[in-house]
Structure 1
Amino acid sequence: MAEKAFKERLKEIDVSEYDAATYERFSSAVRRQVQSLRIILDSLQAKGKERQWLKNQALGELDDTEIIDGLTGEKAVYKRRGELDPEDSQDIGW
């Protein structure tokens, strides 16, 4: 029954049994690497959505690295947690 459904599906997508076997052979050869790449990309996407410290803010917690600037009169010496804008985020190296 599964064999019949498989052959019908191949017919629907206009693929021969030889092409399906060839695809499966190549796919199985790289399956582990594809899975690893998916995990890496998912973690990068999740990391991109993490809240991060936004520096040089007018409100928030005092940023210890900006104490000297605060003494000289700078107003944006605070940091707060938030999501970075895509244009402000770090380049991931691609």
Structure 2
Amino acid sequence: MPPTKIPDFTDNEQYKLSHTLATLIGEYGERDLDIATGFFSPDVWKIVGDSFGQLGALRLMLGKEPDMPQDRRAGTGPLLPPAPAG
């Protein structure tokens, strides 16, 4: 049986982080894991803690809210100011 496909990203709706991590560690046998995310709930440790215990190394990079006005964030408005007239 082919291994479970790992999604390019998780959204916790269609692709759950907990399932993806458990698959990477359990089925794929990953022992070093790097995670970059904007949010990581402490509740995730309860869900995947046993899997994390099988890792040799875990690096977790957390983001934060952007320091820019809401209308300048990707997908919510223009990313560049309008070109000067003339």
**TM > 0.5:** no
Greater Cα radius of gyration, structure 1 or 2: 1
| TM-score between both structures, scaled by the size of structure 2 | 0.23
Which one has the bigger helix percentage?
1
| TM-score between both structures, scaled by the size of structure 1 | 0.22
